[in-house]
Amino acid sequence: MFRRKTMITVLATGMLLSSGVVYAQTNSAPHAQASTAFDNKVIKKISAENMYNTIKYLSSVPREAGTEGEVRGVEYIEGQFKSLGLETRRIPFPIYDYKTKKQQAIVDGVDLNGRAFSGSGSGNVTAELVNVGKALAGTVPDEVKGKIALVVRGDITFAEKVQNVAAKGAVGILTYNNSPNGNNFGQANGEIPAVAITQAQGQELVEKLKNGPVTATLDVDIQTIEKTSYVVEAKLKPNKNKDTGEIVTIGAHHDSVPNGPGANDDASGVSAVLELARIFVNTPIDTEVRFLTFGSEERGMKGSSYYVSQLPQSDTDRMVAHFQMDMIGGAEAGEDHPLGGLIMYTIDGHKNLVTDLGASASSRMYDVAVPYGQLGRSDHQPFHDVGIPSALFIHSPVEPQYHKPTDTLEHISKEKLQQVASIVGASAYQIVRPDTPALNRAHVSPASVDYDFENRPVD
Ligand SMILES: [Zn+2]
């Protein structure tokens, strides 16, 4: 799971609940919700032992995106999918690291210990300073052309300030704070060198400029390093004579944080994706199932975003549900909430097809209707953003080992792995099983259940 402290923006309201998928309705009398033969047929085959072995292999080497460790994990995952006879694809995408090699602002021979903005352009420029205040649009004077703009923080973003002075031909931007605290602020996406200094330093320069020209040198060298990360995709196609044309996706992220073993985060989710692939391969289905593992989730869901962005519209239109599993085996996660603290997080905090099926499956298998809540921070986000019902299955609150070097195999609970894989497997199977429409009218149909929203913080 991606670490971000701010709340995700709610992006959509009134998301489509279903795109033609018929699922259990309580239009007849409620049935006893014991595990059905349907659950047993498929779900009993899930082996926590297999999952544990996958985690053991993956977590023995850190899998930071763009490293050899990621490639090692990807090769293993790909190999597993291929050995099941699935149509498997490794999808590369670029990721970028930025390395600041030089960040200097010199005025009258004095180094101001400036900091290059994140996203600053590189270059070494020497020119006169021009005080342009806040650099609001329409206020930047023409005389800044060929000069370095001296700018104060406030009112608009730094990126906008950079844009406004660059548009007038400034060759650099020296920005000072509007409060006494530090000189490390914001993002400045632009081509020209952009350096930040303190409020006191900036105010001194403003005074100095009243007495005549002041020359400054900005020297910024930021190296961009391109690396490659991957998504692994495996397609399980239904029988040609019985194909709904729809697609269900089941995903997890295979990358770990830098130098982290990432046993629970998220080798656990990957292990469930592989295990579900293994059991679905031998199960008749009428809907395509796509098993996905994403790289660069820990860098802000880069892999899943890339994956969704490269899908043809004809695929996106047919996708009816995305199940995301992230951190599903943490022995010490979930405090004393039922079912080890399992919760289904959606981006908008609303129920959808995925959560309906999850609650129904958990209630008949474990007598607990898994609650739902609102959270992004994993790969269900990009799927939601294009209108696909999606949810994150995770134990909340997360375990103390989260994003630490101690996120190792010994803190993995086989029981939790078994539970989550079973619930997600039974939920997905409810959509892809060939007899779904008939089953929904049958006496043995798994019924929908009541389940609650919980405002439960994940960390
Ligand atoms: Zn994480």
User: Which architecture does CATH list for 109-213?
Assistant: 3-Layer(bba) Sandwich (3.50)
Comparing CA positions, the residue from 429, 375, 39, 379 lying closest to residue 233 is: 379
For ligand 1, the distance from its centroid to the CA atom of residue 298, given in whole angstroms, is: 6
- For the chain, the structural domain boundaries read 37-96+226-441, 109-213
- Alpha-carbon distance of 30 to 86, in angstroms, equals 38
- Alpha-carbon distance of 400 to 398, in angstroms, equals 7
Q: What is the per-residue pLDDT for 98?
A: 84
- Alpha-carbon distance of 368 to 53, in angstroms, equals 28
Instruction: Check pLDDT > 50 for residue 438.
Output: yes
Mean per-residue pLDDT, 32-40: 64
Read off the pTM. 0.81
For ligand 1, the distance from its centroid to the CA atom of residue 376, given in whole angstroms, is: 12
Instruction: Check pLDDT > 50 for residue 21.
Output: no
109-213 matches 37-96+226-441 in CATH topology: no
- Residue 306 contacts residue 92 (beta carbons within 8 Å): no
pLDDT tens readout for residues 97-131: 888 999 999 998 899 999 999 889 999 999 999 99
For ligand 1, the distance from its centroid to the CA atom of residue 266, given in whole angstroms, is: 7
Q: Which pLDDT band holds residue 436 (cuts at 50, 70, 90)? A: confident
For ligand 1, the distance from its centroid to the CA atom of residue 389, given in whole angstroms, is: 22
Instruction: Check pLDDT > 50 for residue 26.
Output: no
H-helix segments, 149-218? 158-167, 199-209
Higher pLDDT, 443 or 385: 385
Comparing CA positions, the residue from 130, 121, 308 lying closest to residue 222 is: 121
Q: Which pLDDT band holds residue 27 (cuts at 50, 70, 90)? A: very low
Q: Spelled out in words, what is the top-level CATH class assigned to the domain 37-96+226-441?
A: alpha beta
For ligand 1, the distance from its centroid to the CA atom of residue 70, given in whole angstroms, is: 14
Instruction: Check pLDDT > 60 for residue 30.
Output: no
DSSP letter, residue 445: P
pLDDT tens readout for residues 263-317: 999 999 999 999 999 999 999 999 999 999 999 999 999 999 999 999 999 999 9
Query: Which protein residues have their CB within 5 A of the ion that is ligand 1?
Result: 1, 265
pLDDT tens readout for residues 406-425: 999 999 999 999 999 999 99
pLDDT tens readout for residues 325-372: 999 999 999 999 999 999 999 999 999 999 999 999 999 899 999 999
Q: What is the per-residue pLDDT for 193?
A: 96
Across the chain, mean pLDDT equals: 90
What are the two backbone dihedrals, phi and then psi, of residue 347, each rounded to the nearest 5 degrees?
-70, -40
Q: What is the per-residue pLDDT for 11?
A: 34
Q: What is the per-residue pLDDT for 6?
A: 40
pLDDT tens readout for residues 125-134: 999 999 999 9
For ligand 1, the distance from its centroid to the CA atom of residue 118, given in whole angstroms, is: 23
Q: What is the per-residue pLDDT for 4?
A: 63
